[in-house]
Structure 1
C-alpha cells in the first residue's frame, strides 16, 4: 500500500500490455469530487479503463467477475480499505492496492499486514 500519483502508476505499467490492466476506484464520492474526476482523467493516460464504485459490495462483486489473468489496480479510501482489502487481497487479479487518504494523520498501520 502506498500513496498514488499518476506518475507512479505510469511507471508501474510502462512496459506492460495495458490491455489487460484496469483501474477500479472505490470511494463514496469518487464521481462527485472535482479532484477525483481530474485524477481519473490523468490516470487514463496510462490505463484507459477506469471503473468507479461507491459501495464495497458492488466493487467486490465486480472484482470476482474479472478473469484471473487480468490485472487490477485498486484505488480505495482508508475506511473502505479496512473492510474490503482483507477480503480481496489474495485474488490473483489484484495487482496493486493504493489507499487514497486526504488526511495524512489517519491511522494506516492496518495496511502493513498486506503485501499488495
Structure 2
C-alpha cells in the first residue's frame, strides 16, 4: 500500500468513527428530556384510531418528550416517577373522570387538557379542578 492509500483509509476510518459517535450521541439525546416539561397522553384508544395516530405523529415533531398510555394506572404510576419536570396531561374524555381526581394534587402536573369533542359534557372538570385548562 502506498502512503496515499493509507492516508485515504485513515480519513475514511475517521469519518466512519465520527458518524458512529454522532449516531450514538443522537440516540442518547433522544432518550433524555431536553426540556423542563413533558406531555403525557392518556387515551384507551391511543393506538387504534387514525386521528389519534396522526396527532401523536404531529406532537412528536414539536416536542422532544411525549409519552403515551392506554392504561390509567400505568400512566398514574409513571407520573409519580417524574421528578424535575412539569407534566402537561392530555386525557381522553371517556376516561377523564377516572384520572383527574387522582392527579390534580400532584405538583408535577401543571395542566390537564381533555381530548374530546363533547365540550359541554366535560366543562364541570374545568370548574372543579383548576389544572384543567381546556377541552
TM-score range, shorter chain: 0.7 to 0.9
* Secondary structure, aligned partner of 1:74: strand
Which residue in 2 is equivalent to 1:58? 74
After TM superposition, which residue ranges in structure 1, 4 or more long, deviate above 2 angstroms? 102-108
Structure 1: 5+ residue runs without aligned partners?
Answer: 1-16
Aligned ranges for residues 30-109 of structure 1 at < 5 Å?
30-67=46-83, 69-104=84-119, 106-109=121-124
- Under a length normalisation based on structure 2, what TM-score does the superposition of the two structures give? 0.65
Quote the offset at 1:25 in angstroms.
0.8
Greater fraction helix: 2
Structure 2 gap segments, 5+ residues each: 1-32
Q: Aligned pair in 2 of structure 1 residues 50, 91: CA closer, same or farther (>3 Å)?
A: same
1:28 to 41, 44, 48: 44
Q: When the two structures are aligned, how many residues end up with a matched partner?
A: 99
**1:104 CA drift (Å):** 4.2
Q: What residue is the counterpart of 2:12 in the other structure? A: none
| Contact kept? 1:76, 1:99, Cα under 8 Å | yes
In 2, the alpha carbon distance for the partners of 1:71 and 1:60 equals 14
Greater length-normalized contact order (CA 8 Å, ≥ 6 residues apart)? 1
Q: Radius of gyration: which is bigger?
A: 2
